[in-house]
Chains A and B, each alone.
Chain A
Amino acid sequence: MRYLVLRRLAQCGVLALFAANTFVLKGNLSASKLFNTIPLSDPFAALQVFLAGMHIEITALLGAVLVACVYGLFLGRAFCAWVCPVNMIVDFAAWVRRKLGFKGVHLGLPRNLRYILLVLSLILSFVLATPAFESVSFIGVVQRGIILGTASWLIVALLLFCVDAFLGDKIICSKLCPLGAFYALVSRYALLKVKHDAMRCTKCDLCFEICPERQVLWMVGLKSVSVNSGECTRCGRCIEVCADDALEFSILDLKGSFKKKVLH
């Protein structure tokens, strides 16, 4: 529960700070100013803007590098679990899906679809000379809607909820979202990792059930290595659910982080 509460606090806190529009944080998740001086910008959006206009202003570039470094070097794909407001919608959808035992429908989407969409967004940004994913981004619509206090984003939120609750398991974040794919690529070597101790693991598979990216947990019960995929969102759900303390957050577990995946 601890991490869940912390995550909700972080997500709501960021949105609240944006909505308050004080000197602390101004703008929105696309780009913003911290303490009226430090620029922050969404590195994926900045990349699209660069490809669209073949030009990037130094402020946006600095902001993008800063954010990419924070996640790429330290926090991993934590944006998805700790900041992005869409996470609350898909978590709710996953909860509903679980509670209703609704397992019937599965859209057979390929696992790497989000990476295809990532590449597609970049190509289209260049071809159409407009930041392609930003122009249709459901994250953008939801976060701006909440921050600016409008209502029309609720349509999109409902759509996202329905897709994840009724059309298939975890479609939005693990199959479709190119921003998640971007952070997954950037996060491969981030320091914060989930450490697995195979000696303690009783193979109850509870972590598999709760993990939004269960493929990253291939080592559970097999090997004492850290979760080393960039796709892990660092949500800490697996840690909370594990009754045997086989999982925990760790930094600097460099040795365990880089072991190769074994086939099984």
Chain B
Amino acid sequence: MMQRRAFLQTALKGALLCGSGGAFLAAMLKAKHGKDSYALRPPGAEDGARFLSLCIRCGLCVKDCPYNTLKLATLLDYARVGTPFFEARKVPCYLCPDIPCIKACPTDALDKKHLEKNQGVDSLKMGVAVVDPISCVAFWGIRCDVCYRVCPLIDRAIKLETKHNERTGKHAYMLPVVQNDVCVGCGLCERACITKEPAIRVLPVAFVSGEVGNHYVKGWDAKDQERVKNAKPNTLNPRTDNPLDYLNKGL
């Protein structure tokens, strides 16, 4: 009898300890997750989930960056403790042709596929630049093309769009427009922007990119039909689906 009680007590204690320990650990892991997703990661970390599971937090990428772009997150940074990230306004990524940060990574957290021949920096995707038309002086009609000029993918990632300036009647706006699919998110434009707070900022892809889904097909593009070949036709269930929502439910 006594033995059984002792056993139950130990088992209960053990279970409680495991439970609370696990909950504590999981909570700590979750705690910073929200803000962490705003962090710009080193080149090669396109797949954020893969990056977070493989990064051993050694800082070898940080040490091998010739521009001191990367930083390991401390307790006070918004990125997860110990993981490398960069702040484009302070130091952008200068897109070294040999990408030493990826070379240095011992764990494949930074994808080595970018080091293969014919890949180059074009295949990187650290984030996407977004222009704020309110504070970008080019949208006021003032001539500024700094971001356009510093962009290593000039005329591809940022293009200048001209537009007639009605106010003066004789000038042109030259508006910077980012091509989201080309921009690699190096942050050189954010670093160079002339306004007090940058009018062009690099954000992680997840915050900028949408996703169309399968229910729109480009009729003028014969190949687009291929994309949704296997999509299942979906019908509205009047009991559970709000008909007002049906367009964005992917039905």
Interface residues, chain A, CB within 8 Å of chain B? 21, 26-28, 30-33, 39, 41-42, 45-46, 49, 52-53, 55-57, 59-60, 63, 110, 113, 116-117, 120-121, 124, 128-137, 140-141, 144-145, 147-148, 150, 152-153, 155-156
- In the bound complex, how far is the Cα of B55 from the Cα of A60, in angstroms? 11
Q: Which of B58-66, B119-127, B200-208, B231-239 lines the interface with chain A?
A: B58-66
* B21 and A110 contacting across the interface, CB-CB below 8 Å: no
Known contacts: A55-B54, A136-B25, A144-B72. The answer to whether A110 contacts B13 by CB under 8 A is: yes
- In the bound complex, how far is the Cα of B58 from the Cα of A21, in angstroms? 13
Residues of A within 8 A of B108 (CB): 53, 55-57
Residues of B within 8 A of A21 (CB): 63
Chain B positions 15-37 with a Cβ under 8 Å from a chain A Cβ: 17-18, 21-22, 25-26, 28-29
Closest A-B pairs by Cβ, 7 of them? A31-B58, A52-B53, A53-B53, A152-B75, A57-B108, A59-B106, A30-B58
B14 within 8 A of A: yes
- In the bound complex, how far is the Cα of B49 from the Cα of A130, in angstroms? 8
Which of B52, B60, B64, B75 contacts A32 (CB under 8 A)? Answer: B60
- In the bound complex, how far is the Cα of B21 from the Cα of A117, in angstroms? 7
B interface, over-half SS: helix
* A63 and B80 contacting across the interface, CB-CB below 8 Å: no
Residues of B within 8 A of A57 (CB): 54, 106-108
The proximity string for B residues 40-81 relative to A, scoring 1 for CB distances below 8 Å and 0 otherwise, is 000000000110111111111001100000001011100011
* A134 and B56 contacting across the interface, CB-CB below 8 Å: yes
* A60 and B74 contacting across the interface, CB-CB below 8 Å: no
Measured CB to CB, the nearest residue on chain A to B76 is A152
Name 15 A/B residue pairs within 8 A (Cβ), A-sorted: A27-B59, A27-B60, A30-B56, A30-B58, A46-B107, A49-B53, A49-B55, A52-B54, A59-B106, A120-B18, A129-B53, A136-B28, A144-B57, A147-B59, A153-B75
